[in-house]
Amino acid sequence: MELGLQGTVAFVAGASQGLGKAIALGLAQEGCKIALCARRADELAKVAEEIRSKTGSTAIVVPADVTKPDQIKGAIASTVEQLGRLDILVTNGGGPPAGAFAVQSDEAWQTAFELNLMSVVHMIREALPHLQKSGRGRIINMTSSSVKEPVQALILSNALRAGVVGLAKTLSVELAPDNITVNNIAPGRIDTARIRYLDKARAQAQGISEEEAKAAAVTQIPLGRYGLPEEVANLAVFLASDKAAYMTGSTIPVDGGMLKGT
């Protein structure tokens, strides 16, 4: 299937590992030029080399801490300077710490606010003029299944990622005249470092092994397993493509059937 991504440029945040890396690789396989963003330039350099060797596509490194607006501004500017344009923005930040409401300090709330909501605001703000110039802009926000069904002991994620959904729905209307689509991907339990951290935290809280915690989680997934990063990336690539030109304002789970609601 021709997806219309050949020669387009994507900025992918959180691209040093996990879902961000998988999305960057998936887009590159379709001929997209990739700007890889995360804090660690050394890890990004490894990913860039992997993308080049596997796909032949251009991959550049634009290190930034997405909680720092000035660094986001510099990374987006560097992307356009080096690659000439920007068509696709994938916002993706790490998840906040696990824990119930009672143990979260004001500092924890503020840190999560900057990481999971304001980073999205800042990335979109800096990318927007370039996406408007593109004429086929795509904004894809990585959120969590918690935006549809809150997860126990993830109060920070439950509260703040929901704000991204509200932001995206509003922007999908505001930016439609510019032919920019705005969608969210809501992963469930995908086999990444983040999920392994959550399994460990749940195991410690319940006094069981990590293997037992994972096994218990898997029983809640109708497909009977954790998802793979590339299975989330497949959706991101589709949403970035010409084939998804009439999809905007949506929040789409990739969860193996785990969510109970419709």
pLDDT 10s digits, 159-205: 999 999 999 999 999 999 999 999 999 999 999 988 898 888 888 88
Q: Average model confidence (pLDDT) for the chain?
A: 96
Residues of the chain with CATH 3.40.50.720: 9-188+228-251
Least confident range of 12-26, 84-98, 189-203: 189-203
**Exposed, middle or buried: residue 198 (CB in 10 Å: 0-12, 13-18, 19+)?**
buried
Round to whole Å and give the CA distance between 128 and 141: 14
| pLDDT > 70 fraction of the chain, expressed in percent and rounded | 100
Statement: the pTM of the whole predicted model exceeds 0.85: yes
pLDDT at 200: 87
pLDDT(261) > 90: no
The topology (CATH level 3) of 9-188+228-251 is Rossmann fold (3.40.50)
pLDDT(230) > 90: yes
Least confident range of 94-103, 181-190, 240-249: 94-103
Q: What is the mean pLDDT of residues 29-52?
A: 98
Q: What is the mean pLDDT of residues 88-114?
A: 94
Round to whole Å and give the CA distance between 185 and 18: 14
Cβ proximity of 48 and 79 under 8 Å: no
Q: What is the mean pLDDT of residues 8-36?
A: 97
Q: What is the mean pLDDT of residues 222-250?
A: 97
Q: What is the mean pLDDT of residues 119-127?
A: 98
Round to whole Å and give the CA distance between 127 and 131: 6
Q: What is the mean pLDDT of residues 145-164?
A: 94
Round to whole Å and give the CA distance between 145 and 98: 15
pLDDT at 94: 85
pLDDT(134) > 90: yes
| Tokens encoding 111 | 């840190």
Q: What is the mean pLDDT of residues 126-138?
A: 98
Cβ proximity of 34 and 28 under 8 Å: yes
pLDDT(118) > 90: yes
Confidence of residue 253 (pLDDT cuts 50, 70, 90): very high
pLDDT at 105: 97
Confidence of residue 13 (pLDDT cuts 50, 70, 90): very high
Round to whole Å and give the CA distance between 11 and 77: 11
